[in-house]
Amino acid sequence: MINVIRTKDYEEASDKAFEVMKEYLRPGKVLGLATGSTPLGLYARMVKDHQENGTSYKEIRSFNLDEYVGLPITHPESYYAFMHHNLFDHIDIPEENTHVPSGLGEDLEAQARHYDEMIDACPVDIQLLGIGSDGHIAFNEPGTPFDSGTHVTDLAESTIRDNCRFFDNDITKVPTQAVTQGIGTIMKAKAILLIATGSNKAKAVKEMLEGPIDVSCPASILQKHENVTVIIDEDAAALLG
């Protein structure tokens, strides 16, 4: 079941997302985390709450959705660096409790299978998601099978264009592949929290919520999950019936 929360703008969406997330900021919980522009407001609120209220992450574990293939963790645009810069370095989560898939290694598919095994052993309580303008979740682009596990994938051209802004607006610098949790992996999370803001997400939001469940819109599979909260702002909701 999808519970849709409509908000005015990005700031209010981030406030609502924090309200949902706050319930999970307790010892023993396992958070599924995302990168990109969408969760920045939520992460800022988690950092503020840690600093002002002392909410502790010492006994919380986390699994990130994805990582670019070929970027070392020292690259400022690696998702490992993103998570440290925007969240992990400002809260008290132990490094060994955090997991970001590696985009480097001899056998990325074997590493991907190992990542799924770790998640199976430590099920995610709440998975945070953004959505791509093409309806992708994590880097599961249109056409990805709904039962996929963590795998290496080619990024869609629209995704490469969308992410150009993080790579000096130079398309040749954007990695073309990623390691991503599969849709099957994401669907195992006990609860899902998806945030979508801005008009470039409106079409994907409409297909996710009102379209058929079809691999052409990967996020449409969320209609089948039993506990999903979708937080959208006015711009992202603009095409809803």
Residues classed as catalytic = 66, 134, 136, 141
Check residue 36 and give left, alpha or beta (phi > 0: left; psi -120 to 50: alpha). left
Name the minimum Å distance from CB 195 to ligand F6R. 8
Name the minimum Å distance from CB 40 to ligand F6R. 8
Distance, CA of 110 to CA of 229 (rounded, Å): 32
Q: Which is nearer to ligand F6R, 130 or 184 (CB)?
A: 130
Q: Which is nearer to ligand F6R, 14 or 38 (CB)?
A: 38
User: How many helices (H) and strands (E) in the chain?
Assistant: 7, 10
Contact by Cβ (8 Å): 197, 233: yes
Q: Which is nearer to ligand F6R, 50 or 218 (CB)?
A: 218
- Please provide the DSSP assignment of 71-122 as one string: --TTSTTSHHHHHHHHTGGGS---GGGEE---S-SS-HHHHHHHHHHHHHHS
Distance, CA of 75 to CA of 233 (rounded, Å): 32
Name the minimum Å distance from CB 50 to ligand F6R. 21
Name the minimum Å distance from CB 213 to ligand F6R. 18
Q: Which is nearer to ligand F6R, 26 or 165 (CB)?
A: 165
Q: Which residues bind ligand F6R (CB under 6 A)?
A: 34-38, 65-66, 130-132, 136-139
